[in-house]
Structure 1
Amino acid sequence: MSTARNDKTLLFLEDDRDLQALVCTFLRDRGYQVTPARTAAEAREVLQSKPVDAAIVDGLLPGMTGADFIRELRKTKPDLPVLFASAFWKDLKSHELLTRQLGVARVVHKPYRPEELAVWLEQLFAVAPPPPPPQESQDEEDAEPVDDFAASLALLSADYGAKLPERLATLQALLGKGRHGDAAAMEEAYSVVHKLHGTAGSYGFRDVSITAGALEDVLRPVKTGGTLDWARVDAGFRALEDRVSLPVLAPEPEQAVVAAMGTLLVVDEDAAVLADARRMGEREGVRVVTASTPQEACAAVEKQWVDGALLHMGGAGLATASALRAMEGHQSLPLAFSSTSGGLQERVNAAHAGASLFLPRPFTQQDFATAAERLVATRRLERAKVMVVDDDPEAVRALSQALVSDAVEVVGLENAYGLLDALAQHRPDLLLLDVQMPGPSGFDLCRILRLTPEWQELPILLITAQVGLEFRLAAFQAGADDYLAKPVLKEELRARVHARLERARLSRERTERDALTGLMLRRPFVEAVATRLSEARRSEKPLALCFLDVDHFKKVNDQHGHLAGDRVLMRLGRLLGARFRREDLRARWGGEEFVVALLGETPESAKEILSRTAEELSAMTFEGDTGDTFHVTFSAGLAVAPGDGTTLDELLRVADARLYRAKENGRNRIETE
């Protein structure tokens, strides 16, 4: 379906047919009238035959460069907006030639996505986003979650707007002192205006931000030691006063909503239990989504984020757990089970299925509250952490509110001098730095972090009111990954931050996860087990460590092919990844060897849990490279701290010896002694 929003006409000069077809299709779907050309001659014909609103020019054309074509174009169309696309042209002189001498509006570096090109075009034409479609009424069960961010931001904007007259009065008083020679007051006045420029737009007061920016330029001699033009200062203040005095629409009272503590999926075949769970959720501030079958549960999780699931052990509870954990991105979904008996075998089954909690049935309000709090807290540990550094508390508040979500946690810092200590304490996944702060600037902090081995890979985004060429080059030379212009648009902020976080996550996955099985590699596993051992000692709980090895794996490769062997390892890795609790650790140790660490399990319970995994693996049918079918089993050795040792080395030696004994005793078995 087309999403047409404008009638702008574009010339797209690109000799790559595939890229041309892709981009033309995408931009036409966005409502642009796109005329393609593959050579300069074709482009000249287009320009002579019809008016165009902008041109997209590739840097390398048949017979000439894109820069030469633009130079020629400027003789007849000096003001035509041009986007220049190239895999080269990234040095300082190239930027100066393109932007200053040839008037290029934007340099787009290849490879680029069509969506990126559309963003620059929208900025070029200042295309307003379309109004949201009217929402259709829905049943309560199917209603989408309320946009807590939009409502919260509306309340924050109203609060910010209510404080603007007070800030203006403070500024007026400071300027009055400054007029009589108080240099400190003028420094403070400049700071107030600078913060208004950077923050007001983020709260929806864009005109106030722009006017404050103009006044900031007038006050800049305060920072450079120059002479102020008080007539311009007075005019700038009056313009700002006019903007602040305009009526501000406050949000309607019904927009205020209370954010739920989290979202819990409750799966039970008993409708009365589901109704009780919904009522309990309302009392605890937890959004409850209900389902009565595994199919309904999976459909619910596909539609919305859930922090955890509470399942009935009877009926299809185990099947539901298996189905949920098999879904992409939910291999570690926190689970809890409820049961009327709660015997040892049911608890072992629950632990194997991945449950971290076991509730009596029927469960009380307190039981439900405990389960919800633990499941939500566990899921939130997966959230990425962003640190925002800005000396303006309002800016920290606005940026934090724009970013915080189920997937992102935000930590604010208003004192740049405490950055290194704060990084060590919070260990964020991404850093947002304001460029202009008292003391070290964002550039200075960026350089310091890039010289510190621990933080050299930390994604850093700079926030600034200056976005000229010199700033951009300085930002990247200081080590920044990206920058955002004030006033910060929340949609752009979210998009850029999420893109950087996803790239960082993928980078960690490559260094910490085995590509074939998806399990941890040896080094991160060793580090994680050290933490689990410390936890076990503090809580006086056992920790079971199991070495397991695929039986006759060499024969699998020799008889059925190496690709078949890879399929065995991949499916075993997925099986191990989808079973057990979130706090349990699984890793590929090397070759066909795997290792599992289970916190709080005795030799007997650990063996029972792993035996279920062994049964699942032996029931799987594998296909060889020539189409033949076969089955596999594994052997395992189990060691449990503190009885078999208190260090990882001791446990590994004992588990390895017992694995060797399991193979000597006929394979397809788990040795615990």
Structure 2
Amino acid sequence: MDDKQESLQDALRALNQIFAEKLPSKLQEIDHALSQFTQHPEDKDALALLHRLLHTMSGSAGTFGFDELGQQSRKLEVRIKPLLSGTVWSDVQLSDFSNEVREYLSHAMSAKPVVDVDEDAEVAQEVALPHKAADVSAPRLIYVVDEDSQMCEAIAVQLRHFGYELVILNAVRDLAPRVAVRMPDVILINLGFSDEQFAGALEIEKIRLTANFTSKVLFTSNSSRFESRLRAVRSGGDGYFTKPVDISLLIENIDFLVRSTSGNGYRILIVDDDLASSEYQAKVLSAAHMSVEVLNNPAQLFNVMAQFRPELILMDVYMPLCGGVELAKMVRQDNSFLDIPIVFLSTENDFAKQLDAVKAGADDFLTKPIHPEFLVSSISTRAERYRSLRTLIMRDGLTGLYNHTAIKEELIAEVSMAVRNKTPLAVAMLDLDNFKLVNDNYGHPVGDQVLRTLSRLLRQRLRRSDVVGRYGGEEFIVIFPATSATSAMTVLDEVRIAFAKLQQFSDQGEFAVTFSAGISDLSRAADVNALIENADAALYMAKKSGKNRIVLGQLA
């Protein structure tokens, strides 16, 4: 077990302990609310408070291992719910309910969790971190396994420029010992070798029998036959490339596979007045490499959303101040957040209530208590779908980067946040050098390949917080949050040098392309338009002074 797994275990264990310690005071709150309600049954606020406390207990108790207590709370919650809609109880019914709650509270004071804390933490850990989490800043490791050493080296040269660590193996028998010592992120292996038609596939099948095999596998082959492709799939292949391998397509596939294994960093906003449950959910989702913000006061929702820009909102149905359904309607009335997925997580299993939530704009309804694996899977699926749909709208179809409109919107938001937080922000304008000659000499498809190559290199070499967009044609823009122009220049210059070394491929032969850039920051320009103009002027100077260089914008 690595440090991250132990940290998650410790955090969940602490939350379980906190819940157990606070349970008596929570039960006292229910007792006090019951007294208020029984003394003043006509008081709607007292009724709503009692219902909300029982609702919260029915969800959180099950989450932290007090299953029986959660089930009893849920029964009482269901009993009292009709009163919220105007049903009136007789004195006898009220007395019976009061006695039932008192008995429930008496038993609850001595309740113990049915699941050991360590076991519960282990479940969440296994779901969120099925294998040792890799350091996302470290180079991703790829094993290239093929008898053709010349082809292996050609692939390795290109992949190294994109920041990958490469190990070349020319004998299939050398793979298993290497995997036993260090698990790679990706294995690129030939389907067949000279001594066996499917030697590569057989070796992968054998290695898969070992514990904790997590590598993604890409097969290469001289054959495009159905039989060969089927064998690759049956061996667990994640991709298939016929030789000669299209390097650009190969890199795109490797990029995608690496992103899918390292976590996609979905931004999840949890809105729930139950502090214990929301913290538990946050720990589980964070361990699955999601960025999580917890909000216990719904009144702050729109301020938090404007700054955090969530890709999914996870909220409860019953909360003080306003309910989840009302909150969902408010979100859907704001065009800025119209398409953000809303998922309800509640003990509510009344179909009519769930239908109300869907009508208010909810995309899914999950029931507490929820198993960590199901929570991670449900949230990931919804967030990924949202991100994919946003990509169709906001991304450039060729490069996958933000399009002109989207990158301007991102820049406006980032500048606003930087000014509010008094932090630096830099912007770079990039332009490919002599790109018209590339299209004229090699054709537009090759020109498109060059654009995709630069976009991939920018995404890989820059930080996750940096924002990259295609501004138009062969021009790109990069936003560097919390970064000065001089610091951004240092980072971007490394990308410039690496890009100039990349070999582009065409029918007429190999060639290289360079780019020039201009950089500005908030010390040089005070608003969005001024930033772009300042960086663009610096880009013009870079072009005028010889190209293949980066120039800082003039100070204001």
- Where in structure 2 are the equivalents of 1:66-105 lying within 5 Å? none
Whether 2:307 is the aligned partner of 1:446: answer: no
The C-alpha deviation readout for 1:216-241, integer Å capped at 9, x for no partner, is 23334543341151335524653564
Instruction: Write the letter of the residue equivalent to 1:506.
Output: S
Q: Which residue of 2 aligns with 1:575?
A: 457
Contact 1:202-1:490 within 8 A present in 2 as well: no
Q: Which residue of 2 aligns with 1:590?
A: 472
- 1:649 offset after TM fit, Å? 4.6
Q: Which residue of 2 aligns with 1:210?
A: 71
- 1:301 offset after TM fit, Å? 6.8
Please give the secondary structure, in 1, of the residue aligned with 2:432: strand
Q: Tell me which protein shows more helix as a share of its residues.
A: 2
> Equivalents in 2 of 1:415, 1:645: separation in Å?
37
> Equivalents in 2 of 1:486, 1:538: separation in Å?
37
Change (3 A) 1:629 1:152: same
- 1:482 offset after TM fit, Å? 1.1
Q: Which residue of 2 aligns with 1:560?
A: 442
- Where in structure 2 are the equivalents of 1:457-476 lying within 5 Å? 457-476=339-358
Whether 2:403 is the aligned partner of 1:521: answer: yes
Contact 2:55-2:318 within 8 A present in 1 as well: no
Contact 2:65-2:115 within 8 A present in 1 as well: no
Change (3 A) 1:520 1:154: same
> Equivalents in 1 of 2:30, 2:81: separation in Å?
15
Task: Identify which of 237, 251, 255 aligns with 1:328.
Answer: 255
Whether 2:514 is the aligned partner of 1:634: answer: yes
Q: Which residue of 1 aligns with 2:89?
A: 227
Change (3 A) 1:563 1:243: same
How much is the aligned-residue C-alpha RMSD, in angstroms?
Answer: 5.0
The C-alpha deviation readout for 1:554-582, integer Å capped at 9, x for no partner, is 45445434322222222232233334566
Instruction: Write the letter of the residue equivalent to 2:509.
Output: T
Contact 2:426-2:479 within 8 A present in 1 as well: yes
Normalising by structure 2, we get a TM-score of 0.61
> Equivalents in 1 of 2:73, 2:317: separation in Å?
18
Contact 1:214-1:236 within 8 A present in 2 as well: no
Change (3 A) 1:188 1:671: closer
- Where in structure 2 are the equivalents of 1:193-342 lying within 5 Å? 193-220=54-81, 222-223=83-84, 224-228=86-90, 229=93, 230-231=95-96, 233-235=98-100, 237-238=102-103, 241-242=106-107, 245-248=110-113, 251=116, 299=183, 328=255
Instruction: Write the letter of the residue equivalent to 1:209.
Output: G
The C-alpha deviation readout for 1:246-278, integer Å capped at 9, x for no partner, is 544685799999x9xx9868989xxxxxxxxxx
Instruction: Write the letter of the residue equivalent to 1:484.
Output: L
> Equivalents in 2 of 1:470, 1:476: separation in Å?
10
Change (3 A) 1:237 1:640: closer
Q: Which residue of 2 aligns with 1:500?
A: 382
Task: Identify which of 357, 363, 371 aligns with 1:481.
Answer: 363
The C-alpha deviation readout for 1:291-337, integer Å capped at 9, x for no partner, is xx8769995777999xxxxxxxxxxxxxxxxxx999737999xxxxx
Whether 2:534 is the aligned partner of 1:651: answer: yes
Change (3 A) 1:644 1:537: farther
- 1:497 offset after TM fit, Å? 1.7
Q: Which residue of 2 aligns with 1:430?
A: 312
Please give the secondary structure, in 2, of the residue aligned with 1:462: strand
Larger RCO of the pair (alpha carbons < 8 Å, separation 6+): 2
Instruction: Write the letter of the residue equivalent to 2:432.
Output: D
Percent identity over paired residues: 24
Please give the secondary structure, in 1, of the residue aligned with 2:255: coil
Structure having the higher Rg: 1
- 1:480 offset after TM fit, Å? 0.9
Please give the secondary structure, in 1, of the residue aligned with 2:366: strand
Contact 1:639-1:655 within 8 A present in 2 as well: yes
Task: Identify which of 432, 435, 439 aligns with 1:549.
Answer: 432
> Equivalents in 1 of 2:432, 2:16: separation in Å?
59
Task: Identify which of 146, 155, 158 aligns with 2:5.
Answer: 146
Change (3 A) 1:237 1:495: farther
Structure 2 residues not aligned, in runs of 5+: 126-132, 140-164, 168-177, 187-211, 215-250
Contact 1:331-1:578 within 8 A present in 2 as well: no
Contact 2:13-2:118 within 8 A present in 1 as well: no
Contact 1:221-1:227 within 8 A present in 2 as well: no
Contact 1:536-1:600 within 8 A present in 2 as well: no
Contact 2:519-2:538 within 8 A present in 1 as well: yes
> Equivalents in 2 of 1:174, 1:328: separation in Å?
56
Change (3 A) 1:528 1:299: farther
> Equivalents in 2 of 1:479, 1:220: separation in Å?
23
Instruction: Write the letter of the residue equivalent to 1:218.
Output: R
> Equivalents in 2 of 1:417, 1:498: separation in Å?
26
- 1:479 offset after TM fit, Å? 0.8
> Equivalents in 2 of 1:189, 1:539: separation in Å?
44
- 1:181 offset after TM fit, Å? 4.9
Contact 2:415-2:425 within 8 A present in 1 as well: no
> Equivalents in 2 of 1:535, 1:493: separation in Å?
34
Change (3 A) 1:447 1:631: same
> Equivalents in 2 of 1:169, 1:671: separation in Å?
66
Q: Which residue of 1 aligns with 2:147?
A: none
Change (3 A) 1:190 1:561: closer
Contact 2:466-2:479 within 8 A present in 1 as well: yes
The C-alpha deviation readout for 1:128-175, integer Å capped at 9, x for no partner, is xxxxxxxxxxxx8xx585354455334433443454455445545654
> Equivalents in 1 of 2:517, 2:75: separation in Å?
72
Please give the secondary structure, in 2, of the residue aligned with 1:437: coil
Please give the secondary structure, in 2, of the residue aligned with 1:411: strand
Please give the secondary structure, in 1, of the residue aligned with 2:88: coil
Change (3 A) 1:467 1:175: closer
- 1:549 offset after TM fit, Å? 2.4
Contact 2:9-2:118 within 8 A present in 1 as well: no
- 1:450 offset after TM fit, Å? 0.9
- 1:488 offset after TM fit, Å? 3.5
Contact 1:190-1:222 within 8 A present in 2 as well: no
> Equivalents in 1 of 2:111, 2:521: separation in Å?
70
> Equivalents in 2 of 1:472, 1:197: separation in Å?
17
Normalising by structure 1, we get a TM-score of 0.52
Instruction: Write the letter of the residue equivalent to 2:310.
Output: P
Contact 2:282-2:294 within 8 A present in 1 as well: yes
Task: Identify which of 276, 286, 292 aligns with 1:404.
Answer: 286
Change (3 A) 1:234 1:458: same
- 1:459 offset after TM fit, Å? 1.6
Contact 2:519-2:550 within 8 A present in 1 as well: no
> Equivalents in 1 of 2:421, 2:97: separation in Å?
67
Please give the secondary structure, in 1, of the residue aligned with 2:516: strand
Change (3 A) 1:217 1:669: closer
Contact 1:545-1:651 within 8 A present in 2 as well: no
Contact 1:550-1:593 within 8 A present in 2 as well: no
